[in-house]
Amino acid sequence: MSSTPFQIEANPAPVDANARTRLLADPGFGKLFTDHMAMIRWSDTRGWHDAKITARGPLMLDPATAVLHYAQEIFEGLKAYRLSDGGTALFRPQENARRFRESAQRMAMPELPDDLFIGSLEALVAADRDWIPELEGGSLYLRPFMFASEVFLGVKPASEYLYLVIASPAGAYFKSGAKAVTIWVSDHYTRAAPGGTGAAKCGGNYAASLVAQAEAIKQGCDQVVFLDAAERRWVEELGGMNLFFVFDDGSIVTPPLTGTILPGITRDAIITLARDQGMTVREEPYAMDQWEADAQSGRLVETFACGTAAVVTPVGQVKSRDGGFTIGSGGPGQVTEALKARLTAIQRGEAPDPHGWVHRFG
């Protein structure tokens, strides 16, 4: 446990236990929220201060709050799991803490120390542990975020920030429950460019992806895939997930981290697990036309996406204005399913954890 003191202000009107049980029977994703939230303030005169767990509720913001005008904001996403032995754990929170600091650097925001970041997660989960769903695959999704809270109309880094963590019981990420998703290739919009904020986890990246995601939904697809901004040729990532390509010789390719792709923590875990099993994993550029050619020739046998929310998701079909193609059988592949099973077993304490990824507490 973190040694950082958090003042605990219990919610005076928590959700009734029976009502909570009914809600957790089918939580979906991102619609339900727990009774509490973590909060820490920062100012250029006091630094980080007023760390507390308090009742979740609306925020009162002045119309001139800086984030509303200049979008100085970052966030993270990770999950708390109920382990098979009854304990509670987070998966690689140190990596989320590191990425949160790196996002803050890019957005000219103060860096939250790792012990405060992890301490806020532990304290919130301890307060709301009963909200972790017991259904298969259930977890408590944690959303740490920070924004410029100074009331000021001027283009400069703010002098005050508010950091919060909210928690949401989670079930399946994709509403369709599909065994494999269909993705749409965006030929007009791009997610990030060299020198931009692609490697930072900031809201603006996701806001810029929404019009392309809406286009994908209109085309009957589940997700959008973006190509590079310079040549519109190289596959980068989905709106919120990294991509992997599995070939008939057992090797795997994933696009490299060159500054325009978010360095996914699940991505890194998948690379490590695949290499542990003796597979060759190459981080190298992969062209859109090559993707189609390899799928049609049979050289490419599987494609999957990964991220904290959806974990590992098979990609069955790819569509574009020029047509489309099917990957393998159009359903989950053996490598995808094996890597997903291995990862989730470690996350839930059901398999050995040789890399020390599982952060047990409480």
Q: Quote the radius of gyration of the chain (alpha carbons, Å).
A: 21
Residue 22 token pair: 């009914």
Which residue carries 């990532």 as its tokens? Answer: 237
Of 201, 218, 319, 340, which one is the catalytic site residue?
201
Cα→Cα distances 92→82, 220, 279, 357, Å: 15, 35, 23, 5
Residue 149 token pair: 């809270």
Answer yes or no: 175 catalytic. no
Cα angle, residue 129 at apex, residues 125 and 135 outer, rounded to 5°: 120
Q: At what angle do helices 265-276 and 334-347 cross, to 10 degrees?
A: 110
Closest CA to 123 of 165, 91, 62: 165
Residue 305 token pair: 């996406």
CA distance 48 to 112: 8
Catalytic residues: 201
